[in-house]
Structure 1
Amino acid sequence: MKKDQKKSTITDVAKHVGMTTITVSRALNTPEKVKRETLERILAAASELNYVPNAIARNLKSKQSHIIGLIIANIDNPFYENTFKAVNHAAKESNYSLMLFDTDGSEEQEKKAIETLLSYQASGIILSAVSDDKNYMPSYLHKLKLANIPVVQIDRKIHNIDFPGVYLDNFNSAYKGMDALLKKGFRNILILAGPKTSQITLNRLKGIQQAIMDQEHPIELTIKYGDYTKTPSKQAVVELIQEQYLPDAIFGLNILITLGALEAIQEAGLNTENFGFMSIDPIPFARTFGKTIPCIKHDTYALGLAAINMLIQDIKGNSKETQDIIIEGNLTIS
């Protein structure tokens, strides 16, 4: 065997970077425990030497399992229902089995899901990450890169990596929602948003601000940040009611956020008809709150279908320079 055909080992990587094998092993298995500069040097050396960790190497030698993984951040969010249906249906049609993981917003659970799929020799992964903060760099990313497994992101984008994705048109969706509220004459508006550092939140707030600027109305705008679940938005509205602050309208920047606000108002004994509402995506069974809820609706089935088709093409080696796909939203009534 020629020298340049020899399989690189962890010792080769350690010698290349002038570190111990213990340090290299720690960087590859628990990257969160080493400095970023150290990790980057080790990953660069591993890539240059074509080093593949033993567990991943065994998977690559074996035939792929024909499994596709779908990792979502919160299975309670109705947003994912049609996305899952589309992915599951298309996967079956292409003779792939689907493994579904709910991380419940936990980075640790997300990491375990990735490691499980690697151990099952999954053919590809569709990922809705727990965070789209620009500084979110999960420790499992290097394992995906070393395994060279196709990944398509949906909804939430992990930045600074080259995985393609299917996302919502967050700026224009929020613009349309705010524009509709302003045209109805609402001027005192409560915005219930996601995490303050979320790129989805930031882009939606930019759309809202642009709608205000375009109409040039004096607006009293209150923004309350939380996460993508019901609890923070519900608590925020409860506190505002206790302070006797009652806006003209409430704009919830996702389904669960809006549901939290509706529950708070209903439990306080207030009439939802006294408030204007807008939601990003439709509220299931909205009429149980005695009110129709205008919303900006996205075709989440189309989102899932685009993601699975993109992934399967990548698995088959048919993908070229894959471009991100953006799903537009349209004003409708829940």
Structure 2
Amino acid sequence: MKKTRLIDIAKVAGVSEATVSLVLNNKPSRISQSKKDEIRKIAEEMNYRPNHLARSLSTQKSHTVGLIIPDIENPFFSTLSKQIEEIMREKGYLVFIVNSDDSFHQDIELIRELTDRQIDGLLICPSTESYSNLEQVRNFYHQIEIPFVLVDRVFEGIDFNQVSFDHEYGGYIATQYLIEEGCKEIACFTGGLTTHNGNQRYRGFEKAMNEANLKIDVNAIYDGDYRFETGYKFGKSVLEHNNIDGVFAFNDLMAYGLFKAMFETKTSSNKIKIVGYDNLKQSEMFGLPLTSVEQDINLLGNIACDQLLKQIDDENYKENTVLKPKIAA
């Protein structure tokens, strides 16, 4: 089927192509309201769709943005992606969502691929590997020529737009909850202590343990990767230590892995208290009694989008937003 052009609508309406363009782009003009209505009706009847490529050439905006996430199978990031896509669509932007598989080299390749497609901006949830390549990260991010915002996973000492949660506070309240529940021998399933989020959550864990004068057993600190399978493996190890009475998992997926190990060994949830991180809906869906640190994903997505849109309008705009998590028991 032949694509309808502005000139086709103009012929039917008996006006110039320029007049049709003014009306369909809602530009100020002296055209009567009745004529505007007629032109819009003709456009609709002829199934007219605007040429976004031509529009982007004239406005220098494509009204597209990119979103890079590290693991689309992780419910936290899939929920965040959905939230961001809905917000940006309401603002007139199409979102290209891509998955880096937590690879720093994929981060770089995807950023290049997306910017080559003339997007207006980027929302980046960096890979875990990025934290092992900090100098390269700094150098590469300084070369990005379009607006971008770092979301959830951020870097200290870098002057870019960022929005994240206070993970040290999150780790503190998670551990404090376990202590208040009577736990004294607390294991920790971390998410990689070289990363910002993992390091900050562990610092919060240490702070709460030290305040309570509780000893940290280095053999009960498991360096993880936020994956269910890892939590299951760690869980089997924890259950071999009869002294452990509490576990702080740095995300709910690893906590779910521990639940599986406990179920298989018929270990009561009264024996080991668990606190996760993210407060995923899956806990409620499957009836898992998991206390978790809640991060308001809707708020995170809204602020990230707001920062990006402000930067698109003002290249000098800078903001580093840190949000507070809370315990959801």
TM range (shorter): 0.7 to 0.9
| Separation of aligned partners in 1, 2:93 and 2:135 | 27
1:23 equivalent in structure 2: none
Alignment of 1:158-307 (within 5 A): 158=155, 161-217=158-214, 222-241=220-239, 243-245=240-242, 247-286=244-283, 291-307=288-304
1:21 equivalent in structure 2: none
| Separation of aligned partners in 2, 1:97 and 1:112 | 20
Superposed CA deviations along residues 112-144 of structure 1, whole A, max 9, x for unmatched, are 321221121110000001027644248687565
- Aligned residues with identical type, % of pairs: 23
Superposed CA deviations along residues 264-295 of structure 1, whole A, max 9, x for unmatched, are 22233333343211111214332576642111
2:34 equivalent in structure 1: none
Residues 136 and 143 of structure 1: CA distance in aligned 2, closer, same or farther (over 3 Å): closer
Q: Which moved more, 1:211-220 or 1:259-268?
A: 211-220
Query: Which amino acid is 1:205 matched to?
Result: Y
Deviation at 1:159?
5.1
1:52 equivalent in structure 2: none
TM-score, normalization: structure 1?
0.73
Structure 2 runs not aligned, ≥5 long:
1-55
Structure 1 runs not aligned, ≥5 long:
1-58
Native 8 Å contact 1:77 1:255 kept in 2? no
Residues 144 and 133 of structure 1: CA distance in aligned 2, closer, same or farther (over 3 Å): closer
Residues 117 and 199 of structure 1: CA distance in aligned 2, closer, same or farther (over 3 Å): same
Equivalent residue pairs, number? 273
Q: CA RMSD of the aligned region, Å? A: 2.7
Query: Which amino acid is 2:189 matched to?
Result: L
Superposed CA deviations along residues 283-334 of structure 1, whole A, max 9, x for unmatched, are 43325766421111110110011001100110011753x221112111113x
| Separation of aligned partners in 1, 2:206 and 2:139 | 38
2:66 equivalent in structure 1: 69
| Separation of aligned partners in 1, 2:137 and 2:171 | 32
1:115 equivalent in structure 2: 112
TM-score, normalization: structure 2?
0.74
Residues 144 and 173 of structure 1: CA distance in aligned 2, closer, same or farther (over 3 Å): closer
Deviation at 1:226?
1.4
| Separation of aligned partners in 2, 1:106 and 1:76 | 15
